[in-house]
Chain A
Amino acid sequence: MTEAHWGRIASIIGISAVVAWGSANAPLGSQEPEAFVRLDDRERAIALTLSPLPKMPPQPSNRFADNPEAARLGQRIFYDVRLSRDSNRSCASCHSPGLGWSDGLELSQGIAKLNRNSPSLLHAGYQRWLFWDGRADSLWSQIQWPLEHPNEMGFARADLVRLIASDAQLRTEYEAIFGPLPEGAHNPERFRPGGRPPLPAPINPFRRAPSLEQLAESDAGHAAWLAMNEQDRIEASRVLANTGKAIEAFERKLVPGPSRFDRYIEGLRENDVDKMSALNTSEQRGLKIFVGKGQCVNCHFSPLLSGGEFHNIGLAVEEGKPFDAGRPDGINTVQIDPMNGRGAFSDAQEWASNVKLRYLRYDEHTYGAYKAPTLRNAAVSAPYMHNGRFETLEEVVRFYVELPGGPPIGHREETLLPVDLDDAEIRDLAAFLKSLQGEPVPEALRRPLDPSRN
């Protein structure tokens, strides 16, 4: 932080910084039409902080993040089924534009069944941490997980090098952005079939991580990686990172247009009754609950309707479902991930560009905590929660009303108290959540550039 910055420090009363709820009166005065639900000053002040959505934040660790050619290449690759071991699935298989950029399944299905629900990719560019446990700190580094996990796409970075080298169009576009592919990119003796390193594994103080040699004994992909020379391994990882950077540039464009809710808030701000009628009365009652007695805004605040941090809301593991620690594994993994913002492939490796890693605290109280997702995609991303536990938004709301069961691990945050809502209010709150859905992203992004490869 520079001197200049400190020179601008303003004076703030830090204690009990009293909340200025604004003096603004509700717009409709005495002859409030029945169609409008009145928010009190506090509710109104909170509601105004929920819209509009700000600009996409910068992404210094990817200098191609806003490069249109990179986004185009990213789109090409996103829909390309050749990026899987069985040449049968792409990113879009589990993040399908027609299914809210998710897959409609409780738990995702890759080469094998996964143990988590697929999140929508809408607004992904705004996320501080990726995945339900936050184990990735950027969209570009995120792709190593689906791409190389044997249960997901089962692909490998060495195969990716050869794939790009062998496809004239991919190669031309890739090289125009990132420079030449590594020497020998075609050569399976150098970029060996299946060659990939082990995925970053959380540090376990009680167990020494197995060596690559040990892992190679039971995994042909790791054996292939072991057989590659050091420089080629680095080059293959660079190609993976660059591919991720192209995909990130594409994903950053997945931002829906303003929703009916945004229009309503604009009206609330401008005292424009016409705009406010974008929400019907049921949705307005739902909003009032959301910012008021429902206390949803404790965790689902700001224009994303989520702080993007991690909470234990006590969704007990169901019978027959795998154990899932949640956030602690995410913290331990992102810190040692060679592809994190501090790593060799980041375009901004200094601490100053990586404050979220720099100050990240390991805390065992985060057992059972998951990322609070943005609710802007709620209408299209059913089923809900990290384990796809609920099929409808009514069911989700009913969960918050009843708070059944306890968390399998850790303890439910005391923030959460059962919310007292009757059936009509439950429907109102669910209706409100659906009104957050914005205009779909442009059709041109919703389909492959090469239909034959989808």
Chain B
Amino acid sequence: MPLRSLLLLCFLTPACGGPDRSPLSVTIEYPDGGPPLNKHFSFVVDLQGQAGELVDVDADMPSHGHGINTDPVIERIGNERYRIDGMLLHMPGAWELYFDLKGSDNKTRRIVVPLELAHQ
């Protein structure tokens, strides 16, 4: 049984829902030991009742002005559950993970999950 944990969240960016919407959240299940530094890894995202379909996953280091060097692949593994393969966070420091959800209105909204990756 996967123990899930993680949480969620959203910072109230425009991509993250307006005043009339509750903040978006997703649950992320990382592999043992958490997201590894500079190694390919897979993880599971649960949309937790967010309306929409996960259409893109990406990541950046905003303060470094660059993204990731891989193209992660999304696979739907359950109703609201997706497995992401091919993520690689190649530097320690402040990352942002991006989850783009396409709603039934065909609009894409972005959930931003900050992640501080330590030296390992």
Please list the residues of chain A having a beta carbon within 8 angstroms of any beta carbon in chain B. 1, 5-20, 45-46, 49, 297-299, 301-302, 307-310, 355-356, 358-361, 363, 365-366, 411, 413-415
Stretch at the interface among B16-24, B48-56, B88-96, B101-109: B88-96
B79 within 8 A of A: no
Cβ of B12 within 8 Å of any chain A Cβ, yes or no, is no
Chain B residues within 8 Å of A310, by CB: 69
> What CA separation (Å) do A411 and B64 show in the bound complex?
11
Residues on the A chain within 8 Å of B29, using CB: 9, 11
Residue from A308, A363, A413 in contact with B64 in the complex, judged by beta carbons closer than 8 Å: A413
Interface positions of B (Cβ within 8 A of A): 1-9, 28-35, 37-38, 40, 42, 44, 61, 63-73, 83, 85-86, 88, 90-93, 97, 113-120
Verify B38–A307 contact, CB threshold 8 A. yes
A307: min CB distance to chain B, Å:
5
- Give the distance in Å from the alpha carbon of A17 to the alpha carbon of B115 in the complex: 6
B44 adjacent to A6 (CB under 8 Å)? yes
User: Are B32 and A359 closer than 8 Å at their CB atoms?
Assistant: no
- Cβ A356 vs Cβ B40 within 8 A: yes
With beta carbons under 8 angstroms apart, the residue of B33, B68, B113, B119 that contacts A49 is B119
Give the chain A neighbours of B68 by CB distance below 8 A.
361
How far apart are B120's CB and chain A's nearest CB, in angstroms? 6
Please name all residues of chain A whose beta carbon is closer than 8 Å to the beta carbon of B5 when the two chains form the complex: 10-13
Provide a sorted-by-A list of 14 A–B residue pairs whose CB atoms are within 8 angstroms. Answer: A10-B31, A12-B34, A13-B6, A13-B7, A14-B7, A15-B114, A16-B114, A17-B34, A45-B119, A49-B120, A301-B38, A414-B63, A415-B63, A415-B91
The interface residues of chain B lying within 8 Å CB-to-CB of A5 are 31
CB-based contact B65/A413 at 8 Å: yes
* Chain B residue contacts of A15, Cβ below 8 A: 6-9, 113-115
In the complex, the answer to whether A14 meets B115 with C-beta atoms within 8 Å is yes
Besides the known contacts A10-B3, A297-B119, 9 further A-B residue pairs in the complex with CB atoms under 8 A apart = A1-B85, A10-B5, A10-B32, A12-B34, A14-B97, A17-B117, A45-B118, A310-B69, A366-B69
Other-chain residue from B30, B70, B113 in contact with A360 (beta carbon distance below 8 A): B70
Closest to B4 in A: A11
The residue from A11, A355, A361 contacting B69, defined by CB atoms under 8 A apart: A361
Shortest Cβ distance from residue B39 to the other chain A in the assembled complex, whole angstroms: 10
Nearest-neighbour CB distance to chain A for B54, whole angstroms, equals: 16
| Most chain B CB inside 10 Å of its own CB: which residue of A1, A308, A359 | A359
User: Taking CB as reference atom, which chain A residue is nearest B3?
Assistant: A11
Known: A6-B44, A13-B7. A302 touches B38 (CB 8 A): yes
Closest CB pairs A-B (n = 6): A11-B5, A359-B86, A414-B65, A359-B70, A19-B118, A12-B34
A397 to B2, CA, bound (A): 47
A7 touches B1 (CB 8 A): yes
Residues of chain B with a CB closer than 8 A to A17's CB: 34-35, 115-118
For A6, the chain B residues whose CB sits under 8 A away are: 2, 44
Cα-based distance from A11 to B9 in the complex (angstroms): 16
Q: Are A307 and B30 in contact (CB under 8 A)?
A: no
Bound-state CA distance A309–B73 (Å) is 20
- Distance in angstroms between the alpha carbons of A310 and B92 in the assembled complex: 14
Q: In the assembly, what is the distance between CA of A37 and CA of B61, in Å?
A: 32
Task: Tell whether, in the assembled complex, residue A298 and residue B42 are in contact, meaning their CB atoms are under 8 Å apart.
Answer: no
CA of A355 to CA of B42 in the docked complex: distance in angstroms?
A: 11
Complex: chain A residue closest to B2, CB-CB:
A9
Q: Give complex CA distance A297, B117 in Å.
A: 13
